[in-house]
Amino acid sequence: MNRTSPRLLSLGCVLLFVFMYAPLLVVIVYSFTPTEYGVSWQGFTLKWYQAVLANENIKHALKVSLMVAIPTVLISTAIGTITAFTLYRYKFFGRALYQGILYIPLIMPDLIIGVSLLLFYTFLNLELGVFTILLAHISFSIPLTTLVIIARMQRIDRSLEDAAMDLGADEWTTMRKVTLPLLKPGILAAALLAFPWSFNDFVITFFVSGIGSSTLPIRVFSMIRLGVSPVINALGTLIVVVPLILVVIGLLLERRRV
């Protein structure tokens, strides 16, 4: 038992890595090879990256993605901080229910969220575009940021705030000088997780984007429909590597102890 299970475990790890990262590796390798449809390595090139940077459609889509992701990060982190603070600090009617509801968007299929948001925005007579994408992204990011910040908040010793008040700080000063600084790693982690959460979203965005305002994932999808070009490999590599770095930083910050 104790001799075989580590072997099984390591086999599992190897399989996980193969199935997770081998396809990514293929994309990355092909993004540097000059042949357009070949499957064999034919030397090193950066021309597909140049093609990515020269493509106006891609640049526009990237702009839309950032126009959505950056405000999403700022707004959902701010609202998440306030929500977390309220949920954790104050007792009010329906608190447990509210906290439970927070988890629902995280487990509900994107398809359902996308359809319901589309129906809702149409019902409100909103014109589909960058604004509706932004609204949708803020909506589904708030549960994420709130839960990350609550997790951090639970590690803060309540008596630190008692101590600050006892030493003469009023509620607002206590929040500013003690609570927020201690919460900072959690807030940063929430922001760094919310960014790729928004930047990578395809399904929900697909429903609420309308015509002419595609984000990067939507643009990639429409390019693939015309055939897989190495340009997509290069773009894919960029899309994978940049948010990955952000997520890793986010997790490291979250893990750092108080």
Partner 1 sequence: MTKQDASVELVHVVKRYDDVVAVNDLSLIIGEGEFFSLLGPSGCGKTTTLRLIGGLETPDSGDIFISEEKVNDRPPYERSSNIVFQNYALFPHMTVKDNIAFGLRLKSRRTPEPEVEKMVAEALELVHLGDFGARRPDQLSGGQQQRVALARALILRPRVLLLDEPLGALDRKLRKTMQIELRRIQQEVDITFVYVTHDQEEAMSMSDRVAVMRNGNFEQIGSPQEIFESPRTRFTADFMGASNIYSGRVTAVVGAAVDRAPAGTALIDTESGIAVISHNNRELSSGAATSFSIRPETVQVFPRNWEWQADNKFDGKIIGKLYLGDVTELEVNLAEKDSIVCRVGSRIDQDFGFKEGDPVSIGWNAEDCNLLSD
Task: Give how far Cα 178 sits from Cα of 162, 175, 222, Å.
Answer: 10, 6, 49
Of 12, 166, 221, 242, the one binding partner 1 (CB under 8 A) is: 166
Residue 36 interacts with partner 1 (CB under 8 A)?
Answer: no
13 near partner 1, rule: CB under 8 A: no
188 counts as binding partner 1 under rule CB under 8 A: no
Q: Binder to partner 1 among 181, 241, 245, 248 (CB under 8 A)?
A: 181
What is the smallest separation between the CB atom of 159 and partner 1, expressed in angstroms?
A: 4
Q: Is 164 in the site for partner 1 (CB under 8 A)?
A: yes
Q: Is 170 in the site for partner 1 (CB under 8 A)?
A: yes
Size of the site for partner 1 (CB under 8 A): 18
157 binds partner 1 (CB under 8 A): yes
**One residue of 20, 167, 242, 245 binding partner 1 per CB under 8 A:** 167
The angle subtended at Cα 111 by Cα 110 and Cα 116, nearest 5°, is 100
What are the angstrom distances between the C-alpha of 181 and each of 89, 137, 191? 17, 27, 15
Q: Does 169 bind partner 1 (CB under 8 A)?
A: yes
75, 165, 228, 240: which one binds partner 1 (CB under 8 A): 165
Closest CA to 62 of 223, 235, 207, 204: 235
Among 112, 162, 221, 242, binds partner 1 (CB under 8 A): 162
Q: Which stretch binds partner 1 (CB under 8 A): 1-9, 76-84, 89-97, 158-166?
A: 158-166
Select from 28-36, 163-171, 207-215, 235-243 the region that touches partner 1 (CB under 8 A): 163-171
